[in-house]
Amino acid sequence: MAKLSHKIRRYGYRTKQRFKEDPFSVLILYALFFSAVFLIFAFRGLIATIFIKPIGVINSNDRSTVESVIPVSTDTEVTKSEGNDSEPIILQSTGIYTVKSGDTLAGIGADLNIDWKDLAELNGIEAPYSLSVGQELKLPEF
């Protein structure tokens, strides 16, 4: 035990001497150490996902996942998630959607959770898939 305490005292003495000789280098070393510790904690989630992705635990392109389908009853009010229009879209029991200014097949399909290609095929719309204001689109039955 005495030999260990002697080594500790010698190490402390040598560190003290180094600090006296060049205090700036010791401060830089401590700053680097604490910044490395900070970065490890700051990016721990990112580091974990980098190592998990290659083994296939996280796969965003996997199409075999089960998607939940939420049934929407008729006469249900669905609001748009983006855009400046505060006007809600109302699904009518007739299964018909009236095209408004600025509507696109992709936008209507996204709002109603319908694939735009299916919507175009059901209504006989072909390329360039242009719509006119007031045009009535048939909606697929759920």
Residue corresponding to tokens 């006989």: 124
Output DSSP code: residue 138: E
- State which fold the 77-138 domain adopts: Membrane-bound Lytic Murein Transglycosylase D; Chain A (3.10.350)
H or E element, residue 97: strand 96-98
B/e letters for 25-39, b = 16+ CB within 10 Å, e = fewer, are eeeeeeeeeeeeeee
Please compute the mean of the pLDDT values over residues 86-100 and round it to a whole number.
67
Cα–Cα dist 142/73, whole Å = 9
pTM: 0.35
Residue predicted with more confidence, 6 or 36 = 36
**Cβ-Cβ contacts under 8 Å for 58 (sequence gap 6 or more):** 49, 52
| 107-127 pLDDT, tens digit each | 998 888 888 898 899 899 988
